[in-house]
C-alpha cells in the first residue's frame, strides 16, 4: 500500500523469471499483440468496405473480431509494461477494472456466437422469413445486448469485490481474474453465488442455446437437399470451431482458479497464457480461411499488395 497517495497495490506473483527473460517475453508478446490487431483489423476492414459482406452473418463476425481486439487490449499492454518493470504490480482499482473488462468481453463472445447461431438457424431453417426477421434493428439489438448484458452483470461483481477488505496483496497470476477473490480477508458466499449466476447467464445458457440451434440446423439440413447441407457446413463449421475453442479456454480459466495452489508456478503461467493467447489469434485465421467470401477478398487484397 502506498500511504502517500492512499493507493493499494497488488503484486502479480504469477510471472516466472522476468529478470532473466524480460526482453524475450516482451518481444514475443509484443509480436503476438501486433499480429492479433493486424489480422483481426484486416478482416474487419474487408467486411466494412465490401458491400457483398454487409450481411448479418459478416456483421456479427466483424463484431466478434473487434471484441477479440478489445479483449487482447485489456490484457497485453499491461503484460508489456510488467515485463519491462522491476516490480510487477497493479493498483487495486485498475485490477478490478481489468477483471471487469476480461469477463465482460469474454461473456460478449458467447452472446455474439449465440446471435450468429440464431442468424444461421433463420437463414437455413426459415429462408423465406430471413429478410423480415434479421433486419438492421434486430442486428443492432443483438449487438447491444451482447455487450451490455455481460457488462452490467460483471460490473456488479467487480464493484462488490472492490469494496471488500484485503488481507493478501499477492495475486497468483499475471493478470486480474477471479483469483482476486482469494485476496479478501473473508470469502463471500454471496459473491461466489453471484459469480455462478453470471457464469450461467453469459456462458452456460448461451452455450445451451447454440447447441440446441445447431442440432435443429443439423436435423433440417439432413432432411434437405445436398446444396442446403453444403451451405450449412460452410457457414456453421467456422462458428462451431470458434465456439469449441472458446469453451475450452473458459474451462481452462476455471481449472486454473480451482487448482491454483496445487499447480507449479511454471505450469500455471503456461495454462494462463493459453487463455489469452489462442483465441484472439484463432478467430481471424478460422474466418479468413473457412468463410468463402472473406477468403476471396483476402486473396485479392494480398495479390494487389504483391503487385504494388
Whole-prediction pTM: 0.88
Q: How far is CA 227 from CA 108, 124, 223, 234, 236, in A?
A: 32, 11, 11, 11, 14
**196-236 confidence digits (pLDDT tens):** 899 899 989 999 999 899 888 888 877 777 776 777 777 77
Q: What is the pLDDT of residue 261?
A: 60
C-alpha 287/C-alpha 61 separation (Å) is 8
CB 263 within 8 A of CB 271: yes
C-alpha 254/C-alpha 130 separation (Å) is 38
Q: What is the CA radius of gyration of the chain?
A: 21
CB 156 within 8 A of CB 170: no
**192-206 confidence digits (pLDDT tens):** 888 889 989 998 999
Q: What is the mean pLDDT of the chain?
A: 85
Q: What is the pLDDT of residue 145?
A: 95
**44-72 confidence digits (pLDDT tens):** 999 999 888 888 989 999 999 999 999 99
H or E element that contains 62: helix 56-73
Choosing among 3.60.20.10, 1.20.1070.10, 3.40.50.880, 3.30.420.40, the CATH entry for 9-307 is: 1.20.1070.10
CA dihedral 36, 38, 40, 43 (to 10 degrees): -160
Tell me: pLDDT of 43 over 50.
Answer: yes
Q: What is the pLDDT of residue 304?
A: 63
Q: What is the pLDDT of residue 3?
A: 43
Sorted by sequence, the CB contacts under 8 Å of residue 220 that are 6+ apart come out as 124, 125, 228
Tell me: pLDDT of 171 over 90.
Answer: no
Q: What is the pLDDT of residue 30?
A: 94
Sorted by sequence, the CB contacts under 8 Å of residue 93 that are 6+ apart come out as 162
Tell me: pLDDT of 281 over 90.
Answer: no
Q: What is the pLDDT of residue 143?
A: 95
Under the banding of pLDDT at 50, 70 and 90, the label for residue 305 is low
Under the banding of pLDDT at 50, 70 and 90, the label for residue 306 is low
C-alpha 256/C-alpha 268 separation (Å) is 7
Amino acid at each position: 500500500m502506498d500511504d502517500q497517495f492512499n493507493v493499494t497495490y497488488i503484486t502479480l506473483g504469477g510471472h516466472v523469471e522476468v529478470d532473466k527473460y524480460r526482453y524475450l517475453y516482451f518481444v514475443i508478446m509484443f509480436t503476438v499483440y501486433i499480429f492479433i490487431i493486424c489480422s483481426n483489423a484486416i478482416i474487419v476492414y474487408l467486411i466494412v468496405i465490401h458491400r457483398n459482406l454487409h450481411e448479418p452473418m459478416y456483421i456479427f463476425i466483424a463484431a466478434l473480431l473487434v471484441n477479440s481486439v478489445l479483449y487482447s487490449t485489456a490484457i497485453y499492454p499491461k503484460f508489456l509494461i510488467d515485463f519491462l518493470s522491476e516490480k510487477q504490480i497493479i493498483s487495486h482499482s485498475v485490477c478490478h477494472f481489468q477483471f471487469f473488462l476480461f469477463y465482460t468481453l469474454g461473456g460478449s463472445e458467447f452472446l455474439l456466437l449465440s446471435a450468429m447461431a440464431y442468424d444461421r438457424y433463420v437463414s437455413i431453417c426459415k429462408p423465406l422469413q430471413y429478410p423480415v426477421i434479421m433486419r438492421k434493428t434486430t442486428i443492432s439489438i443483438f449487438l447491444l445486448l451482447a455487450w451490455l448484458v455481460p457488462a452490467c452483470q460483471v460490473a456488479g461483481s467487480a464493484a462488490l469485490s472492490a469494496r471488500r477488505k484485503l488481507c493478501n496483496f499477492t495475486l497468483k497470476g499475471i493478470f486480474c481474474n477471479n483469483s482476486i477473490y482469494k485476496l479478501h480477508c473473508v470469502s463471500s458466499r454471496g459473491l461466489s453465488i453471484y459469480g455462478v449466476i453470471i457464469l450461467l447467464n453469459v456462458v452456460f445458457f448461451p452455450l445451451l442455446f447454440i447447441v440446441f440451434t445447431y442440432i435443429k440446423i443439423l436435423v433440417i439440413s439432413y432432411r434437405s437437399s445436398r446444396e442446403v447441407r453444403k451451405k450449412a457446413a460452410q457457414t456453421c463449421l467456422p462458428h462451431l470451431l470458434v465456439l469449441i475453442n472458446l469453451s475450452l479456454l473458459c474451462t481452462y480459466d476455471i481449472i486454473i482458479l480451482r487448482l491454483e495452489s496445487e499447480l507449479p508456478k511454471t505450469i500455471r503461467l503456461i495454462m494462463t497464457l493459453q487463455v489469452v493467447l489462442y483465441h484472439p489469434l484463432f478467430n481471424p485465421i478460422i474466418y479468413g480461411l473457412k468463410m468463402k467470401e472473406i477468403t476471396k477478398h483476402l486473396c485479392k487484397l494480398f495479390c494487389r499488395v504483391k503487385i504494388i
